[in-house]
């Protein structure tokens, strides 16, 4: 929803800038527009950092869920076939 709010056409941005120029005056308008640009840069940077952190966490959790699924399937195999001999590791000899 926020993405839809922030989608402004060039003409809408131009009208907003013109009104801000008339309200604040030329000197104050330049200072305020520079400040607004800095704020937008900070917001974009924070949003990017948040997105990267969220993707990293989701990646960790998906890897963790894969491990949990493997452990669960191994437990089920052991519970279903408790009498079978556990497999020997490769390279180990059966003596």
Q: What is the domain count for the chain?
A: 1
Per-residue pLDDT of the chain (95 residues), as tens digits, is 445 556 778 899 899 899 999 999 988 999 999 998 999 999 999 999 998 888 888 777 777 777 788 888 888 777 776 565 555 555 555 54
User: For residue 39, what are the domain limits?
Assistant: 8-80
Contacts of 20 (CB under 8 A, 6+ apart): 29, 32, 33
Cα 49 from Cα 73, distance rounded (Å): 36
Q: Confirm whether 91 is domain-assigned.
A: no
Q: Confirm whether 21 is domain-assigned.
A: yes
Please tell me the pTM assigned to this model: 0.48
Q: Confirm whether 92 is domain-assigned.
A: no
Q: Confirm whether 74 is domain-assigned.
A: yes
């Amino acid at each position: 929803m926020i993405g839809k709010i922030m989608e402004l056409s060039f003409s809408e941005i131009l009208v907003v800038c013109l009104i801000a120029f008339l309200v604040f005056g030329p000197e104050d308008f330049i200072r305020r527009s520079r400040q607004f640009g800095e704020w937008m840069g900070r917001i974009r940077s924070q949003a990017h950092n948040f997105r990267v952190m969220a993707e990293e966490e989701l990646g960790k959790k998906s890897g963790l869920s894969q491990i949990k699924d493997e452990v669960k399937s191994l437990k089920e195999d052991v519970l279903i076939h408790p009498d079978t001999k556990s497999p020997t590791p490769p390279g180990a000899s059966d003596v």
